[in-house]
């Protein structure tokens, strides 16, 4: 299932004397990470192929401090810092992987904010190397 970072549910245009208050997002929808190229699912790669995954991470109100990757079902995570990111920026990330042996692999990706919040749901993709 694809995870969508943000969905526009309704747009209302108005002219106000004062800047309206912005409604904060719900906690379960914060610190999101998504995969853009889901082509790996169902595609069979060869040993030695360079496989590149990419996506975006964002949070409502906090800067993304790191994007983290796991290839062992979340037992360990490799953290990649996102320098100079502010709370108003989305983070574009990419991850390269070269399999040295055949098998079925799962890449899980999550984001971590400056205040330590971790994505409630990691985004993941399963792919095969022959």
Angstrom distance (rounded) from CA 21 to CA 19: 7
Angstrom distance (rounded) from CA 63 to CA 86: 5
Give the pLDDT score at 82: 94
* Residue 40 counted as domain residue: yes
Q: Tens of pLDDT along 29-84? A: 677 888 887 666 678 899 999 999 999 999 888 899 999 999 999 999 999 999 99
Q: How many domains are contained in the chain?
A: 1
Q: What is the CATH number of the domain that holds 35?
A: 2.60.40.650
Angstrom distance (rounded) from CA 53 to CA 128: 14
* Residue 94 counted as domain residue: yes
Domain residues for the domain of 68 are: 27-129
Give the pLDDT score at 21: 74
pTM of the model: 0.75
* Residue 14 counted as domain residue: no
* Residue 32 counted as domain residue: yes
* Residue 43 counted as domain residue: yes
């Amino acid at each position: 299932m694809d995870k969508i970072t943000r969905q526009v549910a309704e747009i209302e245009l108005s002219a106000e004397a004062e800047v309206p208050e912005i409604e904060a997002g719900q906690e379960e929808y914060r610190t999101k990470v998504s995969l853009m190229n889901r082509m790996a699912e169902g595609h069979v790669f060869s040993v030695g192929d360079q496989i590149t995954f990419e996506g975006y991470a964002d949070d409502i109100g906090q800067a993304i401090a790191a994007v983290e990757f796991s290839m062992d079902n979340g037992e360990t995570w490799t953290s990649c810092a996102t320098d100079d990111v502010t709370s108003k920026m989305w983070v574009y990330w990419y991850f390269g992987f070269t399999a040295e042996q055949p098998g079925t692999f799962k890449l899980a990706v999550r984001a971590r904010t400056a205040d330590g919040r971790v994505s409630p749901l990691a985004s993941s993709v399963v792919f095969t190397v022959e």
